[in-house]
Amino acid sequence: MSGDYKFDTLSLHAGHVPDERHGSRAVPIHQTTSYVFKNTEHAAALYNQEFGGHLYTRISNPTVAVLEQRVAALEGGVAATATASGMAALSTALLVLCSQGDHIVSSSRMYGANINLLENTLIRFGITTSFIDPSDLAGIEKAIQPNTKLIFGEVIGNPGLDIMDVKAVGEIAAKAGVPLMLDCTFNTPWLLKPFELGANLIIHSLTKWIGGHGVAIGGAVVDGGNFDWGQNDKFPTIAGPHYAMDGINFYEEFGPAAFTAKFRAEGMYNFGPSLSPTNAFHILQGMETLPLRMQRHMDNTTKMLEFLCDHEAVDWVRHPNLADHPGHELAKRMMPRGAGSIIVFGLKGGRDAGRTFIESVELASHLANVGDAKTLVIHPASTTHSHISAEAMIEGGLSDDMIRLSVGLEDFDDIKADFEMGFQAAAKFAKTKD
């Protein structure tokens, strides 16, 4: 080994070396709940985090650990912990960081479930959130209170595709002595490595581009190891005695991986958001081709943008790669390979035309997912974001006619033909209606 392995190699190999006894080249599925201890001392030592290893699959699992190590390697983090879903990663991370009376500064332009968690659920536990437009840097800084514990946002907002300036917001967070946690589902480490710009914690829905096949739900929280938890008194359960393990101080004992140690010892133990080993295996199969798929996603996105922008049936198109997007220059600078493969657009004829289009396409699937190898379409206002308030929808940049398109890997001519069919159906419907 003459240097560190590169992204494409890590996507295939990181986290796994074939075991000496069986030599299994593929990552084995350790479909087990528990692990036989060598003796009582060994058992006690595992519980006490005296050495690494597995004691119960709710806490960790060898197959899941390969996935975690691969995600950590691709992000350039110190560690990752996988969870049953992206929402499990986010909710557990927030509960590991925050206590009653704490406060979060969050982007107002995010996935509906992210907003719901912060706006309607955490508030019941005494954790409040100020929602700010992610492009309003002064507003973000102003919203920070003495009890603020983190800044949270999405690099590419879902579905409005607002771009957060990671470096600038990272500087605001660093100045305030709080971590910047980002949902990086839409950008994946292939498009952007946010730790290099000052982010401290990353949330992924692994279900999306990282898995890419639509067969397994999973999530992860990645620890950048670049936040000093002991710099102030904001995080007493990380940089002070914790109830677990004789009053362990995670900051002193685990240094850059203090957050992960607490996430594992408290989050995984007490909330149990574990990822199934079989799902971890499925997601690993997807990760192997992440760089290849992302290149194709971006190639097809470029073609699709050209197609939609030129089409007479299309009223408007939004994507950060387009020059008229307010975050275009920022996106170009942060993500030179492209700003993801989600496009939102509206049809002439509004919501009804959009509904007809979604119901008429045959190759594109109408479903509640993104980042699949297959092209997907959905109407966010009536589905993924239907549980958020009308005010939050407006604040989040959601319009009633918006169609969210997740560009897949099919031959572009076939997607194009499918969309032409959908546009014709929408136009026909509009004429009938007239």
Partner 1 sequence: MKHQLIDTQIHIATGGRSFSNDGEALVLLHGSGQNHLTWVLQSRYFAYRGYQVLAPDFPGHGLSGGTPLESIEDMADWVIALLDSLDVKTARLVGHSQGCLVAIDATARYPERVSRLGLIAGALAIPVNDQLLTMSDEALGKAISVMTSWGHGPMGHMHDNTQPGHSFLGYGKRLMTSNHADALRNDLKACNNYSGGKASAAKIVQPALCILAGSDRMTPIKFGMAMADSLVNSERVIMNGAGHMLPAERPAEVNVALRHFLAS
Report the interface residues with partner 1, using CB under 8 A: 1, 3-5, 10, 13-17, 44-45, 48-54, 60-61, 64-65, 68-70, 72-73, 76-82, 224-226, 228, 230, 245-246, 248, 252-257, 260, 264
- Which secondary-structure segment (H or E) carries 321? none
Rounded CA separation 222/82 (Å)? 9
Q: How far is the CB of 77 from partner 1 (least distance, A)?
A: 5
Nearer to partner 1 (CB atom), residue 60 or residue 108: 60
Rounded CA separation 416/387 (Å)? 32
Rounded CA separation 124/114 (Å)? 15
Residue 306: burial class (beta carbons within 10 Å; 0-12, 13-18, 19+): exposed
Q: How far is the CB of 243 from partner 1 (least distance, A)?
A: 13
Two structure tokens written together for 43: 């058992």
Q: How far is the CB of 336 from partner 1 (least distance, A)?
A: 22
Nearer to partner 1 (CB atom), residue 227 or residue 419: 227
For the CA atoms of 112, 199, 329, 114, what is the dihedral angle to 10 degrees? 0
Nearer to partner 1 (CB atom), residue 108 or residue 274: 274
Q: How far is the CB of 371 from partner 1 (least distance, A)?
A: 22
Give the SS3 label for residue 348: coil
Rounded CA separation 354/127 (Å)? 38
Nearer to partner 1 (CB atom), residue 73 or residue 97: 73
Alpha helices in 234-327 (DSSP H): 250-254, 258-262, 277-287, 290-310
Nearer to partner 1 (CB atom), residue 105 or residue 180: 180
Q: Is the dihedral of CA 299, 355, 369, 270 positive or negative?
A: positive
Strand ranges, E, within 146-228? 148-154, 180-183, 201-205, 219-223
The phi, psi pair for 379, rounded to 5°, reads -105, 100
Cα–chain-centroid distance for residue 249? 29
Q: How far is the CB of 44 from partner 1 (least distance, A)?
A: 8
Nearer to partner 1 (CB atom), residue 224 or residue 338: 224
For the CA atoms of 200, 15, 52, 238, what is the dihedral angle to 10 degrees? 10
56 forms bridges with which residues in the sheet? 34
Nearer to partner 1 (CB atom), residue 4 or residue 434: 4
Q: How far is the CB of 331 from partner 1 (least distance, A)?
A: 26
Residue 26: burial class (beta carbons within 10 Å; 0-12, 13-18, 19+): exposed
Nearer to partner 1 (CB atom), residue 72 or residue 398: 72
Rounded CA separation 106/391 (Å)? 16
Nearer to partner 1 (CB atom), residue 76 or residue 214: 76
For residue 427, CA distances in Å to 244, 374, 413 come to 63, 25, 21
Q: How far is the CB of 188 from partner 1 (least distance, A)?
A: 17
Q: How far is the CB of 167 from partner 1 (least distance, A)?
A: 17
Nearer to partner 1 (CB atom), residue 76 or residue 346: 76
Nearer to partner 1 (CB atom), residue 261 or residue 403: 261
Q: How far is the CB of 254 from partner 1 (least distance, A)?
A: 6
Question: Residue 138: how many CB atoms within 10 A of its CB?
Answer: 9
Q: Rounded to the nearest 5 degrees, what angle is found at the Cα of 11, between the Cα atoms of 8 and 16?
A: 130
Nearer to partner 1 (CB atom), residue 49 or residue 424: 49
Q: How far is the CB of 297 from partner 1 (least distance, A)?
A: 25
Cα–chain-centroid distance for residue 231? 27
Q: How far is the CB of 6 from partner 1 (least distance, A)?
A: 11
Residue 40: burial class (beta carbons within 10 Å; 0-12, 13-18, 19+): exposed
Q: How far is the CB of 4 from partner 1 (least distance, A)?
A: 5
Rounded CA separation 362/372 (Å)? 16
